[in-house]
């Protein structure tokens, strides 16, 4: 099993049997060629202290030499560390040698139990040889470097509240500049008085974010101005350099001098301004910190909370501000930053699953507070949420309101949904608890309301037993021709295929004889049930199981084909399959084709309504649809008299256009009195619409009295 860490040392030394020079001195941890090349590529062979070391430094002077710790995240799982120190003269006596101890972390993406990279600064296991003999004898440690005791949670609190130097203002600006750099903004160059203070600044930033996020922060504790172009090129987010080098920093970088005054901005308003007047956009992260870091005790509390909340989720890719926002949201003492915390939680909560119930509850409370009290507000909040837990919570909240909101369910068109589907997934308790009451209320309002609520459940994939509510409220309406027509007219095309198939499945489960399935249904109802439903393929038919979707699709298409004729070859297959599995005789080869020719889009019941029902907006809408969508001459003839005044009707020539429909066989077949009345009133142009009802329609069985 490959170890988590690999190590490498690099310096200028005299190897046995060679001329010496810069090279890899030693490797450990089973580095392969690619890993070794990666570490070598990040080596810096120049390290120039601000104050040059004497030729023969004392032990105390060696303790003060700069230690450059550079860290870079390579990919999801890999990160590299380079620890560089001056090493005096090499084996040839040439001054300026350095010793690089590099380390490869193969599990940098490990979420739990990991440290922040800056904690390794000044670790006792970094090799720091000085002088030719010491370099030659330096050996990699058996255990790789781990966290030291120089940059710790305690040290950064003490650094932030050092009574001799006010640092919080600079910290707030540095936080926002680093957050922008992590998101792809300009790199940050910090002018520090020493590598010690630089390490503490980087430690402050790192401890104010989660350990996992800190492992995505690329930094260096000590570089010089001439190395900054390289730092920018490799994606180093935060680079510390001596203060005197700041004027030579690239213009593209945000430069902050730790000793200069930074002008604080306002969240949602003016930006911060550096001493060089560079703007830094204010984020909720620094706005929350200004409330949470009023004193050392508050800061210690927040730092503890940050690690606790990070440990409760998958600490990979967390926004820098999220753990602090969770701390703010759960502590009354930080109420002044509650708005900023809510904005971070709603926009930056983890996209991966969250198991910790306390964290889920906190996020749920925040999402609920942002969703107002109405259904429209909940939908708008759900649309604002990024993918992940907050969107799932907001979607469930919206749906629990939508299925109980009469006005919302009455809106035209399909009811909008969120992004969350529940196909094969657990349904949130809040939504699950809302369904029974929503269905009871829908049943009181009528079958159309039941179907709209049921349609929402089907579209989001909620597996809920609706058979009883369909039996009580929907099937009786579909079996009554007049109720069914009103129901379908009101629903239009708003009910999904899955919902209609479920209705058909419940209908079939009531035990109707196979050869009379849907016999009680109007043609229009059968059309509605099967609209958009495609018959299964032959292969799917062989694998269909009773009551599964393929079985139901086939049964619905078979019933439609039996009654109204096939539309595709698969429809014929479905009817044949239905007859075979139910032991019914085969249909005659031309039977379905004959039924197709006999079919009329305007049914007898539809004509009866057009002729006999009272005027209403629904009747005018029905008449308009028949005229625009129907090719049946008799149906159109009955519909046009609903839409036009008698004079307009005659002026448009509809008497002649639809004469055959009004007088089947021509006027010669009318009784003489009828023929005289028809001709006279047509010429007079003063007919009432009832006097123009087609004579053939008057003889349709089932027409309303007075037709």
- Whether residue 441 is predicted with pLDDT greater than 60 in this model: the reply is yes
- Please tell me the least confidently modeled range out of 509-513, 611-615, 700-704: 700-704
Asked if residue 506 and residue 635 are part of one domain, the reply reads no
User: Are residues 529 and 397 part of one domain?
Assistant: yes
Span 368-393, mean pLDDT?
Answer: 95
Give the pLDDT of residue 56.
85
Q: How are strands ordered across the β-sheet holding 219-220? A: 21-28, 5-13, 97-105, 79-88, 68-73, 219-220, 238-242, 188-192, 254-257
Over the stretch 537-593, which tens digit does the pLDDT of each residue have? Answer: 999 998 888 888 899 999 999 999 988 889 999 999 999 998 888 888 876 655 544
Is 703 inside a domain boundary?
no
Domain shared by 439 and 579, yes or no: yes
Are residues 613 and 591 both part of a single domain? no
What 3-state class would DSSP assign to 82? Answer: strand
Question: Is 367 contained in some domain?
Answer: no
Please determine, for residue 667, whether its predicted confidence score (pLDDT) is greater than 60: no
Q: Could you report the per-residue pLDDT of 211-265, keeping only the tens digit for each?
A: 999 999 999 999 999 999 999 999 999 999 999 999 999 999 999 999 998 999 9
**Domain end marker among 597, 625, 640:** 597
What would the mean pLDDT of 508-528 be, rounded to a whole number?
77
Mean pLDDT lowest among 168-172, 475-479, 652-656: 652-656
H helices of 110-227, in order, are: 132-137, 153-160, 168-182, 195-207, 211-214
Residue 336 lies in a domain: yes
- Domain stop point among 582, 597, 612: 597
23 DSSP β-pair partners:
11
Query: Could you tell me which residue, 235 or 691, shows the higher pLDDT?
Result: 235
Does residue 168 share a domain with residue 104? no
* Beta strand segments in 20-75, E: 21-28, 68-73
Per the structure, the complete domain to which residue 111 belongs is given by 5-137
382 in the same domain as 306: no
Antiparallel, parallel or unpaired: β 5-13 and 21-28? antiparallel
Residues 170, 263 share a domain: yes
Of residues 670 and 392, more confidently modeled: 392
Q: Is the pLDDT of residue 700 over 50?
A: no
Q: What percent of the chain has pLDDT over 70?
A: 81
**C-alpha radius of gyration, the chain, whole number:** 40
Q: How far apart are CA 302 and CA 295, in angstroms?
A: 11
With respect to residue 571, please indicate whether it lies within any of the assigned structural domains.
Answer: yes
Q: Which of 597, 628, 657 is the last residue of a domain?
A: 597
User: Residue 704: which of 636, 609, 584 has the closest Cα?
Assistant: 609
User: Would 359 be classed as within a structural domain?
Assistant: no
Whether residue 608 is found in the same domain as residue 593: no
Q: Mean per-residue pLDDT for 457-473?
A: 96
Question: Do 315 and 449 have their domain in common?
Answer: no
> How many structural domains are present in the chain?
4
pLDDT band (50, 70, 90) for residue 607: low
pLDDT in the model for residue 601: 44
Residue 429 domain flag = yes
d(CA 534, CA 150): 71
- Residue 159, domain member (yes or no): yes
In percent, the amount of the chain with pLDDT more than 90 equals: 67
Of 204, 302, 300, 185, residue with least CA distance to 258: 204
Tell me, yes or no, whether 520 and 644 share the same domain: no
Structure-token match 């001459």, residue found: 633
Q: What CA–CA distances, in Å, run from 23 to 30, 208, 346? A: 18, 38, 51
State the pLDDT at residue 489. Answer: 87
Based on the fold, state whether residues 188 and 324 are members of the same structural domain: yes
Q: Is the pLDDT of residue 594 over 60?
A: no
**268, pLDDT greater than 90:** yes
Query: Based on the domain organization, do 343 and 243 belong to the same domain?
Result: yes
User: Strand 5-13 vs strand 279-280: parallel, antiparallel, or unpaired?
Assistant: unpaired
CATH number of the domain residue 259 falls in: 3.40.50
User: What's the mean pLDDT when you consider all of the chain?
Assistant: 86
The 3-state DSSP class for residue 288 equals helix
Please check whether residue 372 lies inside any domain of the structure. no
Looking at the DSSP bridge assignments, the partners of residue 239 are 189, 220
């Amino acid at each position: 099993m490959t170890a988590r860490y690999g190590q490498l040392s690099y310096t200028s030394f005299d190897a046995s049997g060679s001329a010496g020079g810069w090279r890899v001195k030693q490797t450990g941890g089973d580095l392969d060629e690619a890993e070794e090349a990666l570490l070598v590529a990040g080596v810096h062979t120049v390290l120039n202290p601000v104050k040059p070391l004497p030729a023969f430094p004392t032990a105390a002077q060696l303790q003060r030499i700069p230690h450059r710790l550079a860290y870079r995240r390579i990919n999801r799982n890999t990160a590299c560390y380079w620890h560089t120190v001056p090493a005096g003269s090499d084996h040839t006596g040439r001054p300026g040698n350095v010793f690089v101890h590099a380390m490869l972390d193969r599990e940098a993406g490990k979420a739990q139990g990991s440290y922040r990279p800056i904690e390794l600064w000044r670790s006792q296991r970094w090799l720091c040889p000085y002088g030719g003999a010491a370099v030659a004898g330096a050996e990699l440690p058996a255990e790789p470097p781990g966290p030291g005791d120089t940059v710790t949670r305690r040290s950064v609190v003490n650094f932030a509240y050092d009574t001799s130097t006010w640092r919080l203002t600079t910290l707030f600006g540095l936080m926002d500049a680093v957050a922008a750099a992590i998101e792809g903004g300009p790199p940050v160059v910090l002018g520090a008085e020493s590598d010690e203070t630089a390490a503490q600044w980087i430690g402050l930033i790192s401890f104010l974010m989660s350990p996992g996020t800190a492992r995505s922060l690329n930094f260096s504790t000590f570089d010089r101005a001439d190395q900054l172009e390289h730092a920018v090129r490799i994606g180093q987010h935060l680079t510390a350099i001596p203060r005197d080098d700041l004027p030579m920093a690239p213009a593209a970088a945000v430069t902050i001098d730790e000793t200069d005054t930074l002008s604080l901005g306002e969240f949602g308003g003016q930006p911060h301004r550096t001493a060089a007047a560079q703007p830094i956009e204010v984020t909720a992260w620094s706005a929350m910190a200004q409330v949470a870091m009023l004193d050392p005790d508050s800061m210690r509390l927040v730092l503890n909370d940050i690690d606790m909340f990070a440990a409760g989720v998958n600490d990979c890719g967390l926004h820098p501000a999220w753990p602090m926002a969770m701390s703010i949201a759960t502590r009354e003492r930080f109420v002044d930053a509650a708005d900023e915390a809510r904005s971070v939680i709603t926009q930056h909560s983890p996209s991966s699953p969250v198991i910790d119930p306390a964290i889920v509850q906190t996020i749920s409370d925040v999402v609920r507070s942002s969703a107002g009290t109405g259904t429209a507000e909940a939908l708008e909040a759900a649309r604002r949420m990024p993918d992940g837990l907050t969107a799932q919570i907001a979607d469930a909240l919206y749906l629990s309101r939508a299925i109980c909101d009469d006005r919302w369910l009455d809106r035209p068109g399909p009811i909008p949904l969120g992004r969350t589907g529940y196909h094969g997934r657990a349904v949130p308790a809040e939504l699950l608890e809302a369904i029974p009451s929503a269905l009871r209320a829908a049943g009181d309002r009528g079958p159309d309301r039941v179907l709209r609520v049921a349609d929402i459940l089907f579209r989001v994939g909620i597996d809920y037993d609706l058979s009883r509510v369909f039996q009580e409220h929907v099937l009786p309406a579909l079996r009554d021709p007049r109720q069914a027509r009103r129901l379908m007219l009101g629903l239009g095309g708003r009910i999904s295929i899955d919902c209609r198939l479920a209705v058909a499945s419940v209908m079939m489960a009531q035990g109707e004889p196979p050869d009379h399935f849907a016999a009680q249904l109007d043609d229009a109802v059968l059309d509605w049930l099967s609209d958009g439903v495609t018959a299964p393929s032959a292969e799917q038919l062989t694998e269909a199981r009773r009551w599964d979707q393929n079985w139901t699709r086939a049964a619905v298409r078979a019933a439609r084909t039996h009654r109204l004729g096939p539309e595709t070859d698969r429809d014929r297959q479905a009817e044949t399959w239905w007859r075979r599995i139910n032991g019914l005789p085969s249909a005659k080869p031309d039977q379905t084709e004959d039924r197709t020719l006999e079919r009329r889009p305007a049914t007898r019941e539809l004509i009866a309504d057009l002729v006999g029902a009272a005027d209403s907006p629904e009747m005018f809408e029905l008449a308009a649809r028949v005229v625009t969508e129907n090719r049946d001459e008799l149906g159109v003839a009955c519909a046009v008299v609903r839409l036009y005044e008698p004079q307009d009707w005659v002026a448009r020539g509809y008497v002649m256009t639809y004469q055959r429909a009004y007088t089947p066989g021509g006027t010669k077949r009318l009784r003489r009195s009828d023929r005289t009345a028809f001709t006279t009133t047509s010429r007079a142009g003063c007919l009432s619409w009832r006097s123009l009802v087609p004579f053939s329609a008057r003889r349709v069985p089932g027409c309303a009295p007075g037709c």
